[in-house]
Each structure stands twice: as C-alpha cells, then as structure tokens.
Amino acid sequence: MKVLVILGHPDKNSFNHAIADTCRHQLVENGHSVVFHDLYEEGFNPIIDTVEIPRDGKVDETIKSHCDDLISSDGIVIIHPNWWGQPPAILKGWIDRVIRPGIAYGFEAGDNGEGTPIGLLKANIGLVFNTSNTSEVRENNIFKDPLDTIWRNCIFDLCGVKQFDRRMFRIVVASDLVQRIIWLNEVETMIDKYFPTNKI
Amino acid sequence: MKVLVILGHPDKNSFNHAIADTCRHQLVENGHSVVFHDLYEEGFNPIIDTVEIPRDGKVDETIKSHCDDLISSDGIVIIHPNWWGQPPAILKGWIDRVIRPGIAYGFEAGDNGEGTPIGLLKANIGLVFNTSNTSEVRENNIFKDPLDTIWRNCIFDLCGVKQFDRRMFRIVVASDLVQRIIWLNEVETMIDKYFPTNKI
C-alpha cells in the first residue's frame, strides 16, 4: 500500500516527531511505501487565496503535488498536537488547500456546493495521532473532543475514507521516557493493525 | 466599551466582509471603540515556531501588538467561514499565536501546563459569526458542529470570557440579496443586544 503521512509540529524534538518516525519505520518494515510531509520542515504555506478556492481555481505546483499524493494514497496517517481542539495552523492550511473540490470530494451535476458532497478519495483508512496536555475527563466533558468529529466526520468520512481510528496521547508535558516508549509501542501496534505486513 | 473584531476571509466581496462591516458600523453607532483586524488584508503570518511557544517565548512586535489588543478588550467579535468545522488557517494561526499563556490564560504556581488553566481575559462577551454551506441538520447530526465547542468551551470559557453567543448563517452559496440583508439585520440586532448604546 501507498501511505501518506502528514506531520504538523514545529519542534523536531517533539513527541509528535517521534510518533511520525515510528509510523514511517513500521510502515516500511511492513512492506508499504511511505510519502511523508513534515509541513514545518517543508515551509508549507497554509494561506489559501480567493483565486485558489473554486473547483477550477488556480493551484500552484506545490499544492498540485500534494493533491497527487493525496489521491494516490491507499491510507492516510495524520500526526499533530491538540491546540485549541484543532490542528496547528500549518496543518489547517494543508486541509484548506489540499483537500480540494474535484480532488477529495465533488458534487452532483447541478449542485453548486449547497448539497451533500461525494467523497472521491480512494484511501480506505484514515489514522490520526494526537498529543494533548488536557485530561481525558476534561477533554470529553468540557471540550467535547472536537478533533474526533473534525477528522472522523467532517474530513475523512466526507471524502469517502470510511475506516477511521484515532489515538490521543496525554498528558504529554508530564510524561516520562518510559511512558513515551509504551505509547510508541501503541503506535506500532496501530500501524500493524491497519497496515499489516504485505504478503506477496 | 473597547471591542476587538477579528475577520478571517480572503475575499473582500464575501458575506463575511459584509458581516464585519455591519459589526463595525453598529458598534461605532452604539458609541463603542472598535479595534479591527482583517487578517488577510494585514498579511497575518499564522505560523508559530518553537521559540515562540513557551510562556516566556520570543514574540515579535506584531504579535505583541495583537496581544495588547486582546487583553485590553471588553468584548471580542470573531467572523469567519466554517471550513471543515474550523476557522481558515490564517485565523487558526491568530489563535495559536495571540491567545498566549500569560496573556489569555495562566496556570497555578507549580503547574507546568498539565493542570486546568486559569482564564485571564477581562472581556466579558465573545461573539462569533460564521458562514456555512452545510444544512443545519447535517451540521448538527453528522458533524456535531465542532465550531461551537471550539469557540465556546475550548477558547472563550477557558480564557475567562464567560458570556458567549454565536450565529451560523447558512446556506450562503445559495442565498440571495434579500436573505443576506435579513441576515445583516440579525447581526445588527446581536450587536445591539451585547453591545448596547453607551449612555453617559
């Protein structure tokens, strides 16, 4: 399988980077090909402008290349911290610019965007890893965990990616090395579950 | 009252801009002072880097100025389209960079960020206007309207802004001029409700 891995975190020493490294290693170990984008490392520009928005809008070469990666993937893995119940702006910009009409979703003939979109992605699994400094009780009871519905319903399900799983690691700021190693083992296990070893 | 108005939409002809114009006009009409930021117009940079993140992080003059506007406001009005259950990246970056520790929220002594933050903003009302092309039934039943909890709970309540209201105008892509005028009258009415005429 071809698996797209997207990372949105500014700190190369972050646990998010460790999760990304683990994902990439385990995917390759299992015989898959990985397309990896560290959005901060690449200096991704998250600002969409007016001319880019329509289905036939003007899209630059970087975004075209990202779109090619997205539509050709069999699976998608997203890694980012929980900042205000949302991804960091750089990853929000990847969503705004790359998950485009005509690429990830479309509309029935005669529908000008007011109807229900049709998912176009061929990927059959979307996997999200988040880090957080909020307790599970507070996240679920006070904040209602908006990241879950954002990725599960607003994005992956809408774009036709019907299988979804997500793991939020917490409390990262108070975690020690032993805890982090246990968490990275969980990442490996999730990769093994959804992207098992390719048997020829 | 001093009211901060933040707009995140790339198209100057958008209904979002019309909402912002209406808010500003009505606030001034009611005797308030308005600090307005059209983030696209200002070329706001939404990317936070590693050195900026900590409470004592390195913050540039633009962000310092935005923080001053935030802490000195008695009310905050946010205007943006619903893009994937979230604000556009440029506004997400304003959240990431301006709603800072030590400015908008803090922690008890000895808490390194794993506990419950304390809201620091003096503003007593947060008002959000959104535009959407998703039906109310689909937004509430399938997507679970993540923007509501993001602004209400994750951001304003956490930062100490206890009064909150929000209006999502839909379906904007299919709306005519008469509908939009009715909606702008609703904007005026909400401004009048939360920011009534200053009586000396």
Contacts of A179 (CB under 8 A, 6+ apart): none
| Residue B118 within a domain | yes
CB of B175 less than 8 A from some CB of A:
no
Check residue B113 and give its pLDDT: 83
Strands A105-106 and A75-81: unpaired
Q: Distance (Å) from the C-alpha of residue A194 to the closest C-alpha of chain B? A: 24
**What percentage of chain A reaches a pLDDT higher than 70?**
99
Q: What is the pTM of this model?
A: 0.97
Q: Measured between alpha carbons, how far is B157 from B161 in angstroms, rounded to an integer?
A: 5
What is the C-alpha to C-alpha distance for residues A187 and A190, in angstroms, rounded to an integer? 5
Of A49, A53, A146, the CB nearest to B146: A146
Read off the pLDDT of residues A100-145 as tens digits, 9 standing for 90 and up.
Answer: 999 999 999 888 888 899 999 999 999 999 999 999 999 999 999 9
What's the distance, CA B59 to chain centroid?
21
Residue A62 host element (H or E): helix A61-71
Q: How far is A121 from chain B (nearest CA, A)?
A: 16
B87–A95 C-beta distance less than 8 A: no
Residue B200 lies in a domain: no
Phi, psi torsion values for B112, nearest 5 degrees: -95, 15
Give Cα B188 distance to the centre of its chain: 17
B10 touches chain A (CB under 8 A): yes
Once rounded to an integer, what is the mean pLDDT over residues A17-22?
98
Within a domain: B199: no
Provide the residue-wise pLDDT of chain B in tens; the chain has 200 residues. 999 999 999 999 999 999 999 999 999 999 999 999 999 999 999 999 999 999 999 999 999 999 999 999 999 999 999 999 999 999 999 999 999 999 999 999 888 888 899 999 999 999 999 999 999 999 999 999 999 999 999 999 999 999 999 999 999 999 999 999 999 999 999 999 999 997 65
- Rounded to a whole number of angstroms, the distance between the first and last alpha carbons of chain A is 12
Structural domain count of chain B: 1
Best of B11, B96, B134 to mutate (most A CBs within 10 Å, chain A): B96
For residue A80, tell me if it sits in a domain.
yes
Contact assignment for A89 to B92 by CB distance below 8 Å: yes
CB B76 within 8 A of CB B157: no
For chain B, what is the radius of gyration of the CA atoms?
A: 17
**What does the pLDDT average to over A9-20?**
98
- How many C-beta neighbours within 10 Å does residue B67 have? 18
CATH number, domain of A156, equals 3.40.50.360
Residue B11 lies in a domain: yes
B143, B159, B175: best to mutate for the A interface, most A CBs within 10 A: B143
Burial class of residue B173 (count of CB atoms within 10 Å of its CB; 0-12, 13-18, 19+) = middle
Q: Is residue A200 part of a domain?
A: no
Nearest residue to A99 via CA among A78, A129, A83, A84 = A78
- Quick check: B7 contacting A, CB < 8 Å? no
Amino acid type, A23: C
What is the extent of the structural domain holding B81?
A: 2-194
Residue A154 lies in a domain: yes
Q: How many CB atoms lie within 10 A of CB A82?
A: 23
pLDDT in tens, A168-185: 999 999 999 999 999 999
Residues whose CB is less than 8 angstroms from the CB of residue A130 and which lie 6 or more positions away in sequence, other chains included = A79, A80, A81, A82, A147, A166, A167, A168, A169
